[in-house]
Structure 1
Amino acid sequence: MALDHLVYATPDLTLDLGIELTEGGQHLGLGTRNKLADLGGGAYLEVLGPDPDQPKPEKPRPFGFDELTEPKLITWAVRPDNLDETVARAKAKGYDLGPITEMARERPDGVLLRWRLTPLVDAGVPFLIDWGASPHPTESLPPGTELVSFTITHPNPAEIREKLAILGEEATVEQGEAGFVAVLRTPNGEVVLR
């Protein structure tokens, strides 16, 4: 598996993180849009915020977004070699990743991206994503930002490590309040996202 992206949610997409961001596009029907930054190694940062050009959705936005009062690194995604097999293997080991959902969005240049993903099941554990035949978002992003480190914090690190092991994924997990810390290197210095 490979790190696909980190999700940083904010109530206001005009927030200046000190990182060059590229307009990603709208998530129609979800009331959100995103901006992206390449992190190197085939991974990217997704800055997710409310879309003022869409009505507020009838259902809550994903990832507990509607409860946010300040920007927060809320989750991460990994790309397995085979999404269906990984989900089936985890379920056979007693870890149900939930149903696979299909999604799509159009980039500002008109390219339609389609992907499949699992829901967010547990804090600290990534959701899984498969871009299929779509171009990966990093293919249209300028370089310039690098992921230096990514740490998961959780009150029960052993539980998170056990679930990651079922997925065949490794990550740094430390004792603490549930959350994440990402250190990014930019042309203007380091940026820390929590």
Structure 2
Amino acid sequence: MSAIPPLLDHLVLATPDLAATVAEFARRTGVTPAPGGVHLGLGTRNHLVGLGGRSYLEIVGPDPEQSEPAGPRPFGVDLLAGPAVPTWAISPPDLDAAIAAARERGHDPGPVRPMSRRTPDGTVLRWRLTDAGDATGLVPFLIDWGDSRHPAASGLPVAPLLAVSASAPDPRRVRGPLAALGTSLPLTPGPAALSFTLATPNGPVRFG
């Protein structure tokens, strides 16, 4: 099994303090994440790092310049005590076909909804995604960037992804949905947790 999941679009590193986590990431890796943009109305913003190829890391946290959102911020950032890896995303060639195929195989990725983000240069990126894959975060959500420029193609600083791994109380219950989505994860028995390792100027660095 590949150490990098097939169809990987991005990994999420969520934090209650975006500035502190970006600074700590830069200190540990020697790579400074680039500002990604603002999720208007959701109360979050992000910084990005390329992982090699068409994959990237999203570091996301509360945006102090936005007013309090109407609902909870994405990825439960308000409830976190520190940085965590809550979930990940895959980008199949055809989002709607992938959803239909997954449902036929017994896994429902959930409804599709549109989202957008304003980049620092004022560009608005628009995409479609499914709801979070499952309560553990080990089953990915699906994303389709449509006509928007993919974040990994925007000249990001790069820290190549070496591996993604996970543990689950019952790995068999996770492998079924992963297979239905056409992807996979190296899984070991244990508490539900997701981690990844990057190649950096400071050597391999693990998160999660």
Q: CA RMSD in A?
A: 1.3
How much has 1:80 moved relative to structure 2?
0.5
Whether 1:5 aligns to 2:17 is no
Q: Please name the residue that 2:98 is paired with.
A: 86
Residue in structure 1 matching 2:161, options 147, 160, 169: 147
Report the TM-score, using the length of structure 2 for normalisation.
0.89
* Structure 1 stretches lacking a partner, 5+ long: none
* Matches of 1:143 and 1:121, distance apart in 2: 28
Larger relative contact order (Cα-Cα within 8 Å, sequence gap ≥ 6):
2
> In the alignment, residue 207 of structure 2 is paired with which amino acid?
L
8 Å contact kept, 1:147–1:182: yes
Q: Please name the residue that 2:189 is paired with.
A: 175
Whether 1:96 aligns to 2:108 is yes
Q: Please name the residue that 1:17 is paired with.
A: 25
More strand by share: 1
Residues 96-143 of structure 1 deviation map (CA, whole Å, 9 limit, x = unaligned) = 111101001111112221100001131210000000010000111334
Q: Describe the shift of the 1:96–1:49 C-alpha distance in structure 2 as closer, same or farther (beyond 3 A).
A: same
> In the alignment, residue 102 of structure 1 is paired with which amino acid?
P
* Matches of 2:171 and 2:53, distance apart in 1: 26
> Percent of aligned pairs with the same residue?
48
Report the TM-score, using the length of structure 1 for normalisation.
0.95
How much has 1:58 moved relative to structure 2?
1.4
* Structure 2 stretches lacking a partner, 5+ long: 1-5
Q: What does 1:33-112 align with in structure 2 at a 5 Å threshold? A: 33-112=45-124
Q: Please name the residue that 2:150 is paired with.
A: 136
Q: Please name the residue that 1:192 is paired with.
A: 206
**What SS class does the counterpart of residue 103 from structure 2 fall into?**
helix
Count of aligned residue pairs for this structure pair: 194
